[in-house]
Each structure stands twice: as C-alpha cells, then as structure tokens.
Structure 1
Amino acid sequence: PTPDRVRETLFNWLQRSIAHARCLDLFAGSGALGLEALSRGASEVVFIEKYRPAARQLEQNLALLKASNSVINQDAKTYLLKESQAFDVIFLDPPFRQGLLPVMLELIIENKLINNNALIYLEHEAEANYDWQDWQLETIKETKAGQVKSYLLKQKN
C-alpha cells in the first residue's frame, strides 16, 4: 500500500491534472489512490483488483460513497490486453519483486492506453532500476520513501 505521506506528495504533484480526469487504478487493493482521485475531482476511476475479497470491499466502499465507478475483479494483465479506451492518469503499484512493472508498462504503451499528456504514477522496490526511455516515458517527478521509489511519468512527445 502507498503510505499516507507518499499519497499526499503524489496528489500535490497531480493537483492540476486530476480534475475531470479518467483514471485507472491497477492493482487497486483498498483503492486508496483511486478514491483520493475521486475526492479531488476525477470524473471516473476504473479499479482493477484481482483478489476477490479486496474487490468486494472496494465495491462496498464505493456504494457507501454513492460513487458509480467500475471495480473489475480481474488480473491486471488480462484487463490491459482487452481495454481499448485511453486514460488521463494511471496508478501502477504492482506487487514488488514479481517482474510485473515492465510487463504492465509494455501493455499500456502497446495498447495505447494513455491519452496525450497523460500521467503514469508508479511505485517499485528501491533496489530496482529502470530506464523509462525504454517505454518512451520521461520523469516529471520522483521521490524515495524507505524501500520504495515513486515516479510520475509522461509519454515523450
């Protein structure tokens, strides 16, 4: 899960981009990032969560908030292979040390799931190093908290 102080930093980074945005929260878990996006004016958040109990809890939380956003109980890779609509903001926080981050980025880029000027927020284990240029992405912001590196990226023009 994304720590509160990292989440606060992230939404400070996103403050000008989140209003009216169509967002994707991959590996949603509790949905904290997507729910925060909704509270800050995102027009839509699609939550992808493979673990059924977590997806069910997220659906209940959205119902309590009277938010009509989608919770899809599915593997992120399967979802990305089928999705055709692009997003303005993507939250990508896969489980660490499973090699999922490069696979997810590849699918997002190949399937053109980011709009012009879209932003991708991602987290990964601090010991890993990636060259975002491999996916034609550039770093807008970055931070490190403990054993986690966080980045805000956008597609190069």
Structure 2
Amino acid sequence: MNKPTKPASSGKRPEPPQKIRIIGGVWRSRLLSVLDLPGLRPTTDRVRETLFNWLGQDLVGLRCLDLFAGTGVLGFEAASRHASSVTLLEKDKRAHAKLLANYALLQSSPAPGSVQIVHRDSLEFLKQQADRSSNLIFIDPPFQEEGLLNQALVEAARVCDDSPGGGIYVEFPSSRSRDEIEALVPEWHCGKYLEAGQVKACLFRSKRG
C-alpha cells in the first residue's frame, strides 16, 4: 500500500525503494518494481510481516480487496498466501500500468486464486459493493486525504464479513489517534495495533462475534 510521509528535515522527499519483496507464500522472495511517484511508499517488510502474523500465513478461502493499491504489495501478498480472490484498485494510470506489469511477471508461478487489477476510484467501487461481500479489506489511502480514509473505513465496515478470519486493515499517519480511527466504526474494534515510525496501523475485527 502507498502513502506520503512527512518531509525529511532537509526538505527533500525520501527516495522510494526501486524494488520491494513479497515475503510469503507461492511468490515468496519475488520482487516488485516500484515507480518513483509523489506520495508512493510501499508498506514495509516489517509491517507486512506483523500484519500476516496477525492474519495467519494461509488466507485460503478469503475474498480480498486492496484499496488504493499503489504497488499492490498487500494484495499480491494476500494472493501469494492462497486467498481465493483479490481485487486491487488503483486510479493512477501509471501505477495501474505498473501493477499489471508486475502481475504479468508473477504469473510465471501462478497463485491459486483469482487476481483482478482494476483502474478505478477505490471509494466509488467500494460504495457499489454488497453488504458483507468481502472478507479482508486493506485501506491505505494518501495520508493527506483524511476524509478519504474516513469514508473508506465506514464503507468497508459495511462490506466486510470477517467471520472466516479476515478483517479490515488500516494504515494511518501518526498524527491521528487510534481512538479517533476506532470511533469511525463503533461496531468494530482495533484488535491488533502497531506503530512504526510515522505510520500507525490497526486490524479491525467485528464485534458481531
């Protein structure tokens, strides 16, 4: 997933990595190339390792959405770990084209589930999805667009059925509090939480039981 970071003290934008590695599943150790686009920074190895320890290494049977996909590393990780379907959404034309190119290279060792890469606005797509039609949703929009994260999380709470072991994963800037994010979706709770530099993350689970 992708997000802008606070400028370095020098005022220069941090250089993004040129490659990022998938860390588990059938595509383990495969590399994804990363575009140098403003605001683009993939979820780090450390954060992804923690996330998939929370979720479990095998996502067989889960229907996943990777909103604001960017590099697609979270969606590709889910597909690599046997998710039954993964839809990656990205509205930037260049980022979408890179997602397609990276996926084509991964296809030399196909993942067992289906993967769709859609050039579309993530929030518009999410609003059109049926209630409880996905099991695992990744949300990591540009950090400066606070309202976008808020709307996406509220819609995801309607769309997500986490009973098979999924949930809603959200990354947000350290300037926002965990309580503020949790308050957006009172029927869900942040069961797993981490802080890593300028990033905070929650894995939400439904209170429905």
Q: TM-score, normalised by structure 2?
A: 0.69
Q: Are the equivalent residues in 1 in contact too, given 2:69–2:75 (CA < 8 A)?
A: yes
Q: Are 1:79 and 2:121 matched, yes or no?
A: no
Report the Cα offset of residue 108 of structure 1: 2.1
Specify the code of the residue in structure 1 equivalent to 2:154.
E
Give deviations 1:74-124, integer Å, cap 9, x for gaps. Answer: 111111122227111111111102112111112223xx3111424011100
Q: Distance in 2 between matches of 1:131 and 1:73?
A: 27
Instruction: Give the Cα–Cα distance (whole angstroms) in 2 for the partners of residues 49 and 80 of structure 1.
Output: 12
Name the SS of the counterpart of 1:69 in structure 2: strand
Q: Among the aligned pairs, what percent are the same residue? A: 40
Deviation at 1:72, TM superposition (A): 1.0
The root-mean-square deviation of aligned C-alpha atoms, in Å, is: 1.7
Match of 2:60 in 1: 19
1:106-145 superposed matches below 5 A: 106-109=154-157, 112-117=158-163, 118-129=166-177, 130-135=180-185, 136-145=187-196
- Relative to structure 1, is the Cα distance of residues 55 and 4 closer, same or farther in structure 2, using a 3 angstrom cutoff? same
Which structure is higher in strand share? 1
Amino acid paired to 1:114: C
Pair 1:70 & 2:116 matched: yes
Deviation at 1:133, TM superposition (A): 4.2
Q: Report if aligned partners of 2:150, 2:184 keep a CA contact under 8 Å in 1.
A: no
CA shift at 1:60, angstroms? Answer: 2.0
**One-letter code aligned to 2:67:** L
Unpaired stretches in structure 1, ≥5 consecutive residues: none
More helix by share: 1
- The reply to whether residue 102 of structure 1 matches residue 150 of structure 2 is yes
CA contact (8 A) 1:25 1:90 kept: yes
The answer to whether the 8 A contact 1:121-1:153 is kept is yes
Are 1:61 and 2:102 an aligned pair? yes
Once the two structures are TM-superposed, the CA of residue 64 in structure 1 deviates from its matched residue by 2.5
Moved over 3 A (4+): none
For 1:134 and 1:103, locate their aligned partners in 2 and report how far apart those are by CA, in whole Å: 9
- Aligned pair count reads 155
